[in-house]
Structure 1
Amino acid sequence: MSPYSGGRCLLNTDWTYKTTPPLPRAARAIVAADEDLDAGAYRLRVDPGSIVVSCNDDDGCSAALATLRQLLGPPAAIGEVVVAAVEIDDVPRFAWRGVMIDVARHFIPLDDLLRWLDVFALHKLNRLHLHLTDDQGWRIEIRARPSLTQIGGSTAVGGGPSGFYTQNEYAQLVSAAAARGIVVVPEIDMPGHIHAALASMPELNCDGIAPEPFTGTTVGFSSLCLDKAETWAFVEDVVGEIAALTPGPFLHIGGDEAHEVEAADYAAFITRAQQIVARNGKRMIGWEEVAAAPVSGATVVQQWLGLSNADELPPGAEVILSPVLHAYLDARQDAASDLGALYNGITDLRRAYAWDPEQIISGLDPARILGVEAPLWTEYVPDAAVAEQQIWPRLIALAEVAWTGQERRDYADFVTRLAAQQPWLDAANIHFFRSEEMPWTP
C-alpha cells in the first residue's frame, strides 16, 4: 500500500498548519496502516501531539486526506491555518464513487480534466470514467490505427472544436488521477456508437466504403460489420493498446443502443469482446444492454435506463448505478435554465440527492452494488465552462449518495453544508450552476 497516494495535491505546502490546542514543536503528521479497518474506511485524529491518519488501503487513505483537506480550508486561506482537535471514523457506503465525462461528442481539453481532478478527489470520488469514442469523435490515439484520430478526432457535434488525447497525454491524466486516489476507466463504445471509427477506416464497413463524418445527435444508427476479420483485428488492436495504457483493472466496452445489430449477433459480439478484454488483463464493464448477452459474472453491468429487476442480470454480476432520472448530469437543472437536455425532464439538486441506490433494481442484493456513477453526456455541452455548470453542484450531491449511508442523509442538512463548498469551487475556478436552492454569494 502507498499510504500517501491521493495526498500530494490535496495539501498546500504554502500553509502553516496548527492545531487547537497547538501542536508541540516535535509533533508530526502520520499516515499509518491499520488492517482492522474495512476497505475504504479511515480514522482521522487531530490532538495536541499529532495528526494521525489510519487506513487499510489507498482508497481509505485518499478519503482521509480529503477530509483533512476540508478541515484545513480552501486554498484562498493562505497563511496560518488552525485545525481543531477532532477524531473521525468514516467508511464509504459504496466502493465505486464515480463520474463519467463524455469527451467524444464535444472534446474536453486535458488541462480542464486535470483541473477538475482536485475537486473530484475533495469529495471522495475515486473513479473517472472517460467516454472516449462515439459517433461524433474518436478521442484517444491508437498507434496501430492512426486514421482513428486523424479523421475521427477531427469532428464534434455541430462542427464544434475537435481534438484527441495522445497516449502520452492520456498517461499524464492517468498518473495525475492516481496521485489523487482516482482510477481512470476508459470506454471504447462498440459495436454501436462507432461512426467515427467507420468514417476513419473503410474496412470496418460491410460495403468497404467509409461514410462521411457525423456531427449530429442521433443515436443507434451505426455498427461495426461483425462478421469481418478486419473488425476483430481492430478490436484486438484497440483493446490491447488501451489496456496497456491503463493500470486500473477495468475497461468499458459500452455496448449500449446497438439498434442496428440483431440480438444473436449482439450477444456473440459482447461475449467475444469480454474474452478479448479478459485476455488483456482487464475486467469488462458494459452499459445495461450487455446483461442480455451470456457474459460471465465477472462483468460489471452499468445500469442507466430500463434495468429494474435483479433477474435481468448475469448471475453474480456486480452493478454500477447511473439512473437517468437522478444521476445524469446533462439533464437541465431548472425550468428557467437553457442549459442541458430535457429528454428526461428536469434533474434539480433535490432529485440528484434524494434517492436510495438500493431501491433502483428490485430484488438486488445490496452486496452486488459496486457503486454509483454520474454521467455527463455532451451532445448539448459545447465546452468545459458549460460542462462545469452541468456538473457542479449536483456532483457533490451524488458524491454524498455514493459515500453516506441512507439513514444518515438528509436533504435540508445537505443544503446547509453545501453552501460551505462555494469557496472550494471558486478557488478551482469552477463555473458552477447557481441553483435556486442555495444562498450562493456573488
Structure 2
Amino acid sequence: MRRRSVVPALLLSLGVAAVPAAPHAAAAAAAAAPLPLTQVVPVPASVRAGGGAFTLAEDAAIHVPAGSPGAAAVGRYLAGILRPSTGYGLPLTTNARREGIVLALTEPGAGNTGAEGYRLQSTPRAVVISAATTAGLFHGVQTLRQLLPASVERELYGLGPWTVAGGTIADRPRYAYRGAMLDVARHFHTVQQVERYIDQLALYKINRLHLHLTDDQGWRIAIASRPRLTAYGGSTQVGGGTGGYYTTAEYQQIVRYAASRYMTVVPEIDMPGHTNAALASYGELNCNGVPRALYTGTAVGFSSLCVPKPATTQFVDDVIREVAAMTPGPYLHIGGDEARVTGRADYVAFVDRVQQIVRRYGKTVIGWHQITGADPAPGAIAQYWGTKGDEEPVAVAAQAGTRLIMSPANHAYLDMKYDEETPIGQKWAGYTEVQKAYDWNPATVVRGVPASAVLGVEAPLWSETVTDSSEIEYLAFPRLPAIAEVGWSPAATHSWASFRQRLAAQAPRWTALGINYYRSPQVPWPWTG
C-alpha cells in the first residue's frame, strides 16, 4: 500500500524547500493554479466560467450510476489514471451524492449532447460529467484529465494539488467519424504497440482505429482457411525484417482494447492492388498461376489479383468472411487504391463484386476514393486521400449519396515529414508542419462535394519508415491532436492562434506519458528544464 507521507518527508530531508527560487519559479507557480476550462484539445463547443474551483480530496469517491456496467467501466478507467499519481483510494460508489467526481447518465436528448457529447460542471463540491451515453462519459473523462495538472498522468506519486477551475463545459463532436490509421503491413507493430497508440488517440477523442492489415510487404491477420498468408506472406517487411502477424486471438484483443476506449476498429484488406504478399503465398491468385517472390521494397502499383479467375473470387470471399466474423464494428475497408496494373474493366468488375461480398457478410464498405471511379454501392463510404481537391468522380459520387472520410495527404497524412530535416517520413505530398495539419476544412477539401456528404476525418500513418512506438509518436505528435480538433470542434472555434497555445500546454502531459513528440518551431512550447 502506498505511504503518502514518505514523499514530502524525503523532499525535506533533501533540502528541497530551502532551494532558492529558480528563474522559472513563476511558471511553476502558474502550473499549480487551475487550468482554464478552455485549455483543452480539442477545444470544447461551449465554455462558461464559474466561481470557485474543485480540488480532489484524499477521501473523494467516484460516483457512477447504478445498473450501468458501461459507466462503471468508465469510472474504473478514470480511477486507474488518478490513483497512482494522487495516492488516493478513489472508491467507486453508486450513491447519488453530488460531491467528489460524479459520472451521470441522462435521458437521451437531454442537454443536446448527442451520441458522444457530454457536459462537465465543476464546483467547489464536485466535478459532474453527464452524458446520454457511456461514450459521452468517456470523452468527458478525457477533458477532465486535461484540466488536471499534467503530473496526474504519471504512474508515480505526485504532490498536487489536484484542482479543476470552476465552470461548465458543454461539448459534442462536429463529425461522427474521427479516425486514425496505422499501417502495420509495411512494418509490423505488436499488439502492445497498437494498444499504446490507442490510449494516446483516446485522449483526443478519436473514435475509429483503421488498421491497414495487408499490403505488398506483408499480410498481418490470420485467415484460418488460408494459413500461408501469414506463415509465408507475413514473414517479412520493408527492408527485409522478420515481419509478424496477429493471430485471431490477438486481433480480437486489439478490438476489445479499442472498444474499452470507445474506439471502433476498421480492418483494411487492400485489393486488388497492394497484394504481393497474397500473390506470393498463393500462386493461383496470379493469372499465370506462378507465386510471386516476397517483396521488401517501397514502390507501389505493380501488383494485382487476377480478377477474372474463380480462385480470386473464392479467395476474397474467404478472407472477407473471416475478417467480418472477428470484427464486431460495422465497417470493412477494401482498399482499392493504386491498382495501376489492373485493367479498367477488371477494376470496375472487382469493386462491384467485392462490395457485394462485404454487404453479404453484414458490413459497410469503405474504400479509398478511387472506388468512386467504379460504381460505389448504396451506403458505401469513400476515403479521400488526394491533394488537389478537383477529382470529379469523388464529387459526382458524393452528390449521388456516397459519404466521404477526408484524409487529404497534404494535411492529414502523419507520415509526411515536417521539413527537410525530419529524420523519418516521406515527402511526396509535401512537407506538413503542424499549422498545415490544422488549417483545413473537411467541408471544402473537394470542390463540388456537399458538406452533408462528409462523414468525418482520418489521420493515416503509413509505416514505410516507421519501425517502433517512438517513431509513431514523433510523427503523430503534435499533428494528431491538430486533426482531432478539426474533426471534433465546431468550425466556428477554429483558430490557429488559440490552438498553438493550447497545443503547447499539452507538452508536459506528453512528457508525463512518455510520448516522444516533435518540438515544432511553430508552437511556443513551455520551458521543460
Scaled to the shorter chain, the TM-score interval is over 0.9
Inter-partner Cα distance in structure 2 for 1:124 and 1:319: 20
Are 2:98 and 2:128, in contact at CA under 8 Å, matched by a contact in 1?
A: no
Query: Of 131, 142, 148, which residue of structure 2 is paired with 1:66?
Result: 142
Give, as a single letter, the amino acid of the residue that structure 2 aligns with 1:95: A
CA 290–314 in structure 1, closer or farther in 2 if over 3 Å, else same = farther
Alpha-carbon distance, 1:337 to partner: 2.0
Query: Of 296, 310, 313, which residue of structure 2 is paired with 1:215?
Result: 296
Inter-partner Cα distance in structure 2 for 1:204 and 1:386: 35
Inter-partner Cα distance in structure 1 for 2:123 and 2:511: 30
Superposition RMSD in Å: 2.2
Inter-partner Cα distance in structure 2 for 1:58 and 1:133: 33
> Which residue of 2 is the match for residue 172 of structure 1?
253
Inter-partner Cα distance in structure 1 for 2:174 and 2:142: 16
> Which residue of 2 is the match for residue 9 of structure 1?
77
Summarize deviations over 1:53-92 as a string: whole Å, max 9, x none: 2223344232212112222343136465223333110111
Q: How many aligned residue pairs are there?
A: 438
Alpha-carbon distance, 1:378 to partner: 1.1
What secondary structure, in the 3-state scheme, does the structure 2 residue paired with 1:330 have? coil
Query: 1:2-401 maps to which residues of 2 (within 5 A)?
Result: 2-3=70-71, 8-11=76-79, 12-14=81-83, 15=86, 16=88, 29-36=102-109, 37=112, 38-74=114-150, 75-76=153-154, 78=158, 81-305=162-386, 308=390, 309=392, 310-313=395-398, 315-401=400-486
Bigger mean CA deviation after superposition, 251-260 or 25-34: 25-34
CA 28–317 in structure 1, closer or farther in 2 if over 3 Å, else same = same
Inter-partner Cα distance in structure 2 for 1:333 and 1:56: 40
Identity %: 46
CA 101–217 in structure 1, closer or farther in 2 if over 3 Å, else same = same
Are 1:9 and 1:180, in contact at CA under 8 Å, matched by a contact in 2?
A: no
Inter-partner Cα distance in structure 2 for 1:287 and 1:381: 22
Inter-partner Cα distance in structure 2 for 1:332 and 1:222: 27
Inter-partner Cα distance in structure 2 for 1:316 and 1:386: 38
Bigger mean CA deviation after superposition, 362-371 or 346-355: 362-371
Query: Of 494, 497, 518, which residue of structure 2 is paired with 1:412?
Result: 497
CA 211–25 in structure 1, closer or farther in 2 if over 3 Å, else same = closer
Structure 2 gap segments, 5+ residues each: 1-67, 91-96
What secondary structure, in the 3-state scheme, does the structure 1 residue paired with 2:409 have? coil
What secondary structure, in the 3-state scheme, does the structure 1 residue paired with 2:411 have? coil
Are 1:126 and 1:182, in contact at CA under 8 Å, matched by a contact in 2?
A: yes
What secondary structure, in the 3-state scheme, does the structure 2 residue paired with 1:398 have? helix
Are 1:186 and 1:252, in contact at CA under 8 Å, matched by a contact in 2?
A: yes
Inter-partner Cα distance in structure 1 for 2:518 and 2:99: 45
Inter-partner Cα distance in structure 2 for 1:62 and 1:190: 35
Are 2:180 and 2:459, in contact at CA under 8 Å, matched by a contact in 1?
A: yes
Runs of 4+ residues over 6 Å off in structure 1: none
Are 1:6 and 1:178, in contact at CA under 8 Å, matched by a contact in 2?
A: no
Inter-partner Cα distance in structure 2 for 1:40 and 1:346: 33
Bigger mean CA deviation after superposition, 71-80 or 353-362: 71-80
Structure 1 gap segments, 5+ residues each: 19-23
Give, as a single letter, the amino acid of the residue that structure 1 aligns with 2:121: R
Point out the structure with max Rg over C-alpha.
2
Structure 2-normalised TM-score? Answer: 0.79
Inter-partner Cα distance in structure 1 for 2:427 and 2:237: 21
Summarize deviations over 1:286-327 as a string: whole Å, max 9, x none: 000011111223000000115535224472111000001100
What secondary structure, in the 3-state scheme, does the structure 1 residue paired with 2:430 have? strand
Are 1:286 and 1:301, in contact at CA under 8 Å, matched by a contact in 2?
A: yes
Alpha-carbon distance, 1:47 to partner: 2.7
CA 186–25 in structure 1, closer or farther in 2 if over 3 Å, else same = closer
Give, as a single letter, the amino acid of the residue that structure 2 aligns with 1:343: W
Alpha-carbon distance, 1:27 to partner: 5.2
> Which residue of 2 is the match for residue 403 of structure 1?
488
Are 2:398 and 2:449, in contact at CA under 8 Å, matched by a contact in 1?
A: no
Give, as a single letter, the amino acid of the residue that structure 2 aligns with 1:32: L
Are 2:105 and 2:133, in contact at CA under 8 Å, matched by a contact in 1?
A: no
> Which residue of 2 is the match for residue 21 of structure 1?
none
What secondary structure, in the 3-state scheme, does the structure 2 residue paired with 1:294 have? coil
Summarize deviations over 1:3-23 as a string: whole Å, max 9, x none: 4565643442513499xxxxx
Bigger mean CA deviation after superposition, 286-295 or 416-425: 416-425
Summarize deviations over 1:305-358 as a string: whole Å, max 9, x none: 155352244721110000011001111102322321111121001100111111
Inter-partner Cα distance in structure 2 for 1:6 and 1:298: 32
Summarize deviations over 1:367-392 as a string: whole Å, max 9, x none: 22110101111112233322221111
Are 1:59 and 1:126, in contact at CA under 8 Å, matched by a contact in 2?
A: no
